[in-house]
Every structure is written in structure tokens, then in C-alpha cells.
Chains A and B, each alone.
Chain A
């Protein structure tokens, strides 16, 4: 944890007990039951999603039969505990970090391109690195690598199965350095676009804090930031099954659909969208359709790693549409937004304050 020292700091610290993520989730469920949802429906599909579930009942049954493993053998150390890896990080500082085996690679460039080749070889921005790993014999668990992308940075990642992942600013991706023989599982906090290589024998599962997205060969975008209750999955091609982490709800998605899950209210929904709105960021621009300024400022603040101060309640009701180029800096981006939205802003000591323009 990065913390500024106070000048007379005696450099004494006290041990802090750990609050495991699983415990924290339990606590939140109890609090939510007693407050937001007095009537505890853990996962309430929207009418539309419910229809899907009925329609796809056979498929759901099949999937549920296929996956009883998740709840079985609770004592055994399953790789599934990837969810419980400490995922806290400060996205506002630092460079792109790649943690692999005993190596931590820091990438100073704004874009990191990481490629896992065969036999444990890998390259970062075309430079070869070879992390030392435990001997296969000693290895009991699968080694988990981490890619941390702070605000203002982006990364692309090619895994050893040929899957390509674009990781957006303020995100953390966990994945095994080599996939197992029977499954491919990765965990995401933040936003990423996935182009998953087809492999009939090894289903690909993307996990977020709350959802599992099960994939065969396909491309899709997932947004699951830790500080936002809304998570979305936008499917570009192929098909995916989205389920909640307890496996109680499953929803099949078709291309050009957006699945959304509100972690707080436990509500899900599915609708048809122009998926380009959700994937354009990998090309350096945002395609916006009735995007609220509240959400938009959050997105570009992350992209440029600039704190944008505004009244969220005021900005939530103003929407903009169009193509917003992110290549020319935050000032230019705000200028573009201001063509249609009634805003003014001042930049001061690295922060931006946005207000409504008075007439």
C-alpha cells in the first residue's frame, strides 16, 4: 500500500490482520439482506433474462450437470480459489506491471504488449524475458501470473493458447502462466476485450467479482471495475454463457447483446446493442450513444489518469452521442464533448473540475 509519510512519522507500523475477500463478500450479503433488499433474492433476473433462462432450460441443465465440480470437494485446494487472491491495487499510480514466476516486469511505455510463447518463453514489448518458475515436480498449484494496468496505460496480452486480450486502464488480470489441460480460467477486475482462441476441449471461463463468463471461441468485452456496481458483458461474435459465481443463474448470450449485472441490487438484464460502443476503446476512441456524462467522465478519467471533479447527480442526466477520439489528450476530448454538452472546465494542478455552463 502506498502511503505518504507525515513529516514526524516515527516509522512504526502495527500488524494488520487480513480480511479475506470471501469473508468480505459474506459480510456484504448479510448487510444487503438487512438493508437494500429486505427480501433476499440473491440473484433476480430481469423479466427478459428470465425468459432466456426458461427458453434455454435444457442448455442450463446441461451446463449445471457439467459443472458440479465447483461445489464439490471443498477441502481440496482448487485452482478456483483465484477469486480469493488479493486483488486490491492502487490504479492511480505507477507503470504497467507484469508479475510472472519470480519476475516483476515494469513497463514504462503507455502501452504494454505481452506475448506468452511456448515453453515458458515470453516477450514484453518485443523484449524477451524468461521468468524462473518452480520445478514441475514441486508444483502443486497452477502458478498465477498478474498483469496490472494503472490509469493512463493500456496493455495487450497474447496467452499461450493464442487468446488475445486487450486490457483497459485501471484493470488487473490474473491468469495461469500455462493453462491446464481441461480448462482455461482467468480473473478480471476492470475492463478488457477478449478474442478467445477456439479449443473444444478446454472451455474458457472469465471470472469477475460476481460473474462467470463461459466461452468457446468468441470475442467479447467485459467491464467489471471494483468501484462500480454495474458489470457488463458485450458479445461481439460466437456465443457465451454468463452465470453468477454461485452458479445459480445462467444466461445464454447471442452476438450484439449486452448482459448487465448490478452487483448491489443483484439485478440482471440483457438487451440488444451496437457492440462497437463497448469495444471501440481498443482502437483509441469511444463510440458513444446516449452516454451519460457521469459515466463518460469516469471512463476518460481512467484513460488519462486525471481526476475529474464534478457533481455526479447533475451530470448523470446529460447524455452525449458520437465518436470521441482519445488520441489528442484530455483537453481535446473535453472540447469535443463541450460541442454538444453544456459544460465548462478548468484544469488545475493535474485535476479537472467540470461544471455546467451557465447561460
Chain B
């Protein structure tokens, strides 16, 4: 949950954890395990593997807790660490010396989040169009949208997650949004034609 309440809470938990408070460690796991797992599953479909990575990440965090730095967004830090943990673990199992973040494609079914007052008809139509729009996005664009809008990271944080600079992240997201918008706003028949001509 992204309420302000939770945000302030997690910073507090993070600080107590760094000060070797064991209770805070349990709360950190309690509040963060789900979204780290879910994020991990976007790259690896094997759920055992992803759960192992979450465990490994928390054990590593615990062992290094005294040297962790304060941060205004522990969530971002944890997500980034999760991605690195997965990369490391994949390198090990595939006996590769290096995997770039680009070798980890973001894979997930997308759907349309309707507004409260959206009529059902519009919903299904828009939902169908959106699926089509998502097919035109590449893995990186999908990940950027997920990080920005589903997890609520800032542009700056998204850029760091993707290993690109701030402006590139903004452009990437804006291009993706306009791609989606243009497909969704296209009248119904044109979308249908586009599909049949494909």
C-alpha cells in the first residue's frame, strides 16, 4: 500500500532495522516480501527460484545491516537489490560470468484499470484495445510503466532501476503512454482493421 502512512512507516522500520532492531527486521519482511516476490516473478516464472532470491536478499540485508545507509525510499532500494539478487542467482545457475539487466525481460499480462464510473461496455472495449496496445510495447517499456504507475516510483528511481539517465526514463515512459493512448483512443473499427490486416 502506497499511502503516506505506510511510506513514513517503512522509513521508520528501515532506520530501526539499521540500528539492529530485530523486531524491525521482521516488520521489514512482513511489509516488503510480497512486492519483492511479485517484482521478481516478472523476470523469472519459476516461483521457487524467486522465493529463494527473496530469502537470500533478506539474509544478506541482515548480515550487512550495520553498513546500510539511510534512505528516503527503502522500497526503491529493496526493489533494486531484488533485481540484482536475481541477476546474480541466474549467473550462478547458468554458469555465466555476466548478465546485463537487458537479459532479464519483463514479462506480465497487462490489463485495463477502469475508472469507478466507467460503463461496462466501455470497459471491455478499452480492455481489448489496451491488450493490443501492450503488444506493441517492448519489455523495457512495460517495466518502466510498471515501476512508475503500479509501484509508484519517481522518474529518477525508475531511471536507476533501468540503468538509464533521467531524461531517457522520462522519454521512455512518455513514449509508452502516448503509444497506449493513441491505440485506446482510436475508434473501434480502425483497431479491428489494424488487427485483421496484421
Binding site for B on A (CB under 8 A): 1-4, 6, 8-17, 19, 23-24, 27-28, 30-32, 34-36, 90, 92-93, 226-227, 229, 263-265, 307, 309, 312-313
Contact = CB atoms under 8 A, between A and B. Distances in A.
B41 interface: yes
B32 to A, nearest CB: 11
B163 interface: no
A16 B122 CA distance: 24
In which size bucket is the chain B interface?
Answer: 35 or more
Given A12-B134, A14-B111, A227-B31, 15 more contacts: A11-B112, A12-B110, A12-B113, A13-B149, A14-B146, A19-B34, A24-B34, A30-B55, A31-B62, A35-B25, A35-B62, A36-B22, A227-B9, A229-B23, A263-B26
Contacts of A264: 22-23, 25-26
Contacts of A36: 22, 25, 62
Contacts of A28: 26, 29, 33
A19 B38 contact: yes
Interface in B1-34: 1-3, 5, 8-9, 12, 16, 19, 22-23, 25-27, 29-31, 33-34
A307 B33 contact: no
Contact of A92 (B5, B148, B150, B180): B5
Nearest to A16: B38
A77 to B, nearest CB: 22
Contact of B59 (A12, A35, A226, A307): A35
A83 B152 CA distance: 30
The list of the 5 closest CB pairs from A to B, nearest first, reads A14-B108, A264-B26, A35-B62, A15-B109, A11-B113
Interface of B: 1-3, 5, 8-9, 12, 16, 19, 22-23, 25-27, 29-31, 33-34, 37-38, 41-42, 47, 51, 54-55, 58-59, 62-63, 108-115, 130, 134, 142, 145-146, 148-150, 152, 176-177, 180-181
B55 to A, nearest CB: 5
Q: Please indicate which of the listed interface residues A1, A30, A313 has the most CB atoms of chain B within 10 Å of its own CB.
A: A30
B2 to A, nearest CB: 5
Contacts of A14: 42, 108-111, 142, 146, 150
Given A15-B111, A23-B51, A90 B177 contact: no
Most buried by B among A15, A31, A32, A93: A31
Given A36-B22, A312-B16, A17 B51 contact: no
A264 B114 CA distance: 40
Nearest to A230: B23
Contacts of B25: 35-36, 264
Contacts of B134: 12
Nearest to B112: A11
B152 A229 contact: no
A10 B19 contact: no
12 contacts: A2-B1, A11-B115, A14-B111, A15-B110, A17-B37, A19-B33, A24-B34, A27-B51, A28-B33, A31-B62, A36-B22, A313-B16
A35 B2 CA distance: 28
A312 B26 contact: no
Contacts of B9: 227
B34 A10 contact: no
A30 B152 CA distance: 30
A14 B63 CA distance: 33
B38 A17 contact: yes
Contacts of B181: 10
Contacts of B1: 1-3, 90
Contacts of A8: 177
A307 B4 CA distance: 10
Contacts of B38: 16-17, 19
Contacts of A265: 22
A84 to B, nearest CB: 15
A226 B30 contact: yes
Contact of A24 (B33, B41, B130, B142): B33
